[in-house]
C-alpha cells in the first residue's frame, strides 16, 4: 500500500476503534509523526496510566507494551512487531535476578523500566532514566540498594547521588557501542558543539559529554540551549524530534564503533514500520498479555515510580 493510503487507513482505524497510538522517540520519523503521543519511557508509562482509549498501540519495544498492559489490564495493548525486544531487558533473566535479589535480602530493589514484567515483579521500585536520580535521592543515604539491570546507568546514578548501589551487570547493545574515537574526531571537527549523551552509554563516552540525560532531558536541553551544534550519543531516532523542534540547529549523530559512519539505531525499535502499525490496528494483534499473578506484583513498583516521579 502507498504511504499516503497507509497513513489515511491508520487514522481511520484509530478513530473507528477508539485507539491511541503511542511512540517512543526511537521510532522512525513516519511513526512518530502519526502517533498521538511521542515520548520517552517515563512519558509512555504516564500516558498509558491515564488514557481512556479502548486500544493502546505501543510503538516501541515489548517491555513498553508490557508496562502499559500492567497498568491497564482491561485495555487491549498491541505492538506492531512482537519480536521488538530489548538487549538490556534480555541481559537480566528473571530467574538469575531472583537469585541475585535473594542473596541480598536486606536490600531495596530498584529496577530500570527496561525489564520484563517478571523482573518488575521482583522489584520494589521501577525507575526510568528521567526519574532515576530523583527516586534514588528519596532513599536515605545509608539505604542498602540493588540496582538492575543497566550497569552504565547504575554507575552514573551512583556517581551523581553519592551512593554505592549494588549493580546488575547488564547493558544496552546500542548505547554501549558508540565509538570514542569517532566522537573525539567529531569534537575536533565541531569544536563548538555540545556533546549530549544518554546515561546508558559507557563511562568513557559520558566523561566526554557536556550533558548526560534521558532522551527527554537531552531533547529539552537541545531545545532550550542557545548553542547551535550538538553531537548526539543516543539512539538516532531522537534526531527527528530534535530537528523538528529546532530547524535552525545542527544535530550530528555519534556513530557506532564499526566500520561505517552509519547512525546508531536500535534494531529492535526499528522492527516497527508504518505497514505493521496499520496491520496491527486492522487485525488487533499482536497483543501483549501478562500473567495475572505477575501483573499484580509488577504493578506495585510501577505505581510507586509514578508516585515518586
Ligand atoms: P529513555 O526513554 O528513558 O530515555 O530510555 C532510553 C531507552 O533505551 C529506551 O529503550
Ligand atoms: Fe533496549 Fe537499547 Fe533498544 Fe532501548 S535502545 S530498546 S535499551 S536495546
pLDDT digit string, tens, across residues 173-231? 999 999 999 999 999 999 999 999 999 999 999 999 999 999 999 999 999 999 999 99
Would the pLDDT of 243 be above 80? yes
Report phi then psi at 141, rounded to 5.
Answer: -55, -35
Length of the chain: 309
What digits encode the pLDDT tens for the residues 109-166? 999 999 999 999 999 999 999 999 999 999 999 999 999 999 999 999 999 999 999 9
Residue with cell 520519523: 29
State the CB neighbour count (10 A cutoff) for residue 283: 10
pLDDT averaged over the chain?
97
pTM as predicted:
0.95
Measured CA to CA in angstroms, residue 40 lies from 213, 254, 309 at distances of 12, 20, 14
- Going by pLDDT thresholds of 50, 70 and 90, the confidence category of residue 1 is confident
The answer to whether 118 touches 98, Cβ cutoff 8 Å, is no
What mean pLDDT is predicted for residues 93-106?
A: 97
What pairs with residue 195 in β-bridges? 231
pLDDT at position 263 is 80
Match 528473571 to its residue by C-alpha cell.
94
Which atom of ligand 2 is the closest one to the Cα of 266?
Answer: 3
Phi, psi angle pair for 54, to nearest 5°: -80, -30
Torsion, Cα of 235, 264, 118, 123 (10° steps): -50
Q: Evaluate if residue 288 carries a pLDDT over 70.
A: yes
Q: How many other CB atoms are found less than 10 A from the CB of residue 47?
A: 18
pLDDT surpassing 90 at residue 258: no
In this structure, which residue's CA is closest to atom 7 in ligand 1? 41
CA of 2 to the centre of ligand 1 (A): 31
The reported pLDDT for the residue numbered 185 is 96
Using the predicted structure, report yes or no on whether residue 259 has a pLDDT greater than 80.
Answer: no
Question: Which residues are paired to 22 by β-bridges?
Answer: 37, 58
Angstrom CA distances, 254 to 61, 261, 270, 272, stand at: 23, 9, 18, 23
Best of 66, 171, 174 to mutate for ligand 2, by most ligand atoms within 8 A of CB?
Answer: 174
Residues with CB under 6 A from ligand 2: 26, 61, 86-88, 114, 172-175, 235, 266, 268-269
Q: Which atom of ligand 2 is nearest to the CA of 174?
A: 2
Stretch 65-70: mean pLDDT: 97
Q: Using the predicted structure, report yes or no on whether residue 261 has a pLDDT greater than 70.
A: no
- Per DSSP bridges, beta strands 37-39 and 55-59 are unpaired
Quick one: how far is CA 1 from the chain centroid?
30
- What's the number of CA atoms in the CB half-sphere (13 Å) around residue 201? 30
Torsion of CA 205, 209, 211, 212, to 10 degrees: 10
Average pLDDT over residues 1-24: 97
Say whether pLDDT at 60 is over 80.
Answer: yes
DSSP-assigned beta bridge partners for residue 127: 112
Per DSSP, the residues of 19-40 read EEEEEETTS-HHHHHH-SEEE-
Long-range contacts of 71-78 (CB under 8 A, 24+ apart): 71/45, 71/299, 71/302, 72/48, 73/290, 73/292, 73/295, 75/51, 76/284, 76/287, 77/287, 77/288, 78/280, 78/281, 78/284, 78/285, 78/286, 78/287, 78/288
Give the closest residue (by CA) to ligand 2 atom 1. Answer: 86
Choose one of 61, 112, 238 to mutate for the ligand 2 pocket test, by most ligand atoms within 8 angstroms of C-beta: 61
Amino acid at each position: 500500500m502507498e504511504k499516503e493510503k497507509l497513513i489515511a487507513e491508520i487514522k481511520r482505524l484509530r478513530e473507528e476503534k477508539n485507539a491511541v497510538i503511542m511512540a517512543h522517540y526511537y521510532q522512525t520519523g513516519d511513526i512518530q509523526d502519526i502517533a498521538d503521543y511521542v515520548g520517552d519511557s517515563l512519558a509512555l508509562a504516564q500516558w498509558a496510566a491515564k488514557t481512556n482509549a479502548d486500544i493502546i498501540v505501543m510503538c516501541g519495544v515489548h517491555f513498553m507494551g508490557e508496562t502499559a498492559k500492567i497498568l491497564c489490564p482491561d485495555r487491549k495493548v498491541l505492538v506492531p512487531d512482537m519480536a521488538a525486544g530489548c538487549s538490556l531487558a534480555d541481559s537480566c533473566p528473571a530467574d538469575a535476578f531472583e537469585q541475585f535479589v535473594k542473596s541480598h535480602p536486606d536490600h531495596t530493589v530498584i529496577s530500570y523500566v527496561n525489564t520484563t514484567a517478571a523482573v518488575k515483579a521482583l522489584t520494589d521500585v521501577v525507575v526510568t532514566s528521567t526519574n532515576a536520580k530523583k527516586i534514588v535521592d528519596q532513599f536515605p543515604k545509608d539505604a542498602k540498594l540493588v540496582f538492575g539491570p543497566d550497569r552504565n546507568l547504575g554507575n552514573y546514578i551512583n556517581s551523581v547521588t553519592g551512593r554505592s548501589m549494588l549493580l546488575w551487570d547488564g547493558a544496552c547493545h546500542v548505547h554501549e557501542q558508540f565509538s570514542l574515537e569517532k566522537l573525539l574526531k567529531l569534537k575536533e571537527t565541531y569544536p563548538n558543539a555540545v556533546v549530549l549523551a544518554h546515561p546508558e552509554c559507557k563511562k568513557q563516552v559520558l566523561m566526554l559529554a557536556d550533558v548526560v540525560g534521558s532522551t527527554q532531558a537531552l531533547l529539552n536541553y537541545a531545545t532550550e540551549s542557545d548553542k547551535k551544534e550538538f553531537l548526539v550519543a543516543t539512539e538516532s531516532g531522537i534526531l527527528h524530534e530534535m530537528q523538528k523542534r529546532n530547524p535552525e540547529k545542527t544535530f550530528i549523530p555519534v556513530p557506532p564503533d564499526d566500520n561505517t559512519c552509519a547512525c546508531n539505531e536500535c534494531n529492535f525499535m526499528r522492527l516497527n514500520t508504518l505497514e505493521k502499525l496499520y496491520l496491527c490496528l486492522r487485525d488487533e494483534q499482536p497483543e501483549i498479555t501478562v500473567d495475572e499473578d505477575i501483573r499484580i506484583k509488577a504493578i506495585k513498583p510501577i505505581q510507586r515510580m509514578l508516585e515518586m516521579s
